[in-house]
Amino acid sequence: MYNNMQLRYYQGVYYQPVNGGYQVIPPPLNVTIQFLPQGYTTLTVGGTVYYYYGGVFYLFTQNGFMVVRAPAGAIVPNLPEGCEQVQAGNTIFLRYNNAYYQPILYNEQNAYEVVEIE
């Protein structure tokens, strides 16, 4: 239970009970897990170390790894399925879990940078 919401977690994926089954959901902010899933990426943004997996950013705390907002300026190699395309002016962004990502080339590879849109 988290804030009166029943959640399940398995290998980096969060689930919520729905009609006798489960539906994949983005995790709520501040949920804490004890272990990161295999394949996570470590990123440093503004001097802070973040852990990234499947569209979710974590910070290490004394209680485990806590889900936090995507930090502006973070560059990630991939995004999970279910991202929504959003157009602002002539630019197309991808939105996932209330964060906006701009597709970029980083080290000659496709990547995504977290941006703030107002």
Percent helix, percent strand, percent coil in the chain, to nearest 5:
0, 60, 40
Residue 83 falls inside a structural domain:
yes
**pLDDT, tens only, 14-73:** 888 889 889 888 888 899 999 999 999 999 999 999 999 989 999 999 999 999 999 999
Q: With contact defined as beta carbons under 8 Å apart, do 45 and 75 qualify? A: no
Please determine, for residue 88, whether its predicted confidence score (pLDDT) is greater than 70: yes
- Domains held by the chain: number: 1
Residue 98's domain spans which residues? Answer: 29-115
Residue 49 falls inside a structural domain:
yes
Strand 64-68 and strand 32-33: pairing?
Answer: antiparallel
Residue 63 falls inside a structural domain:
yes
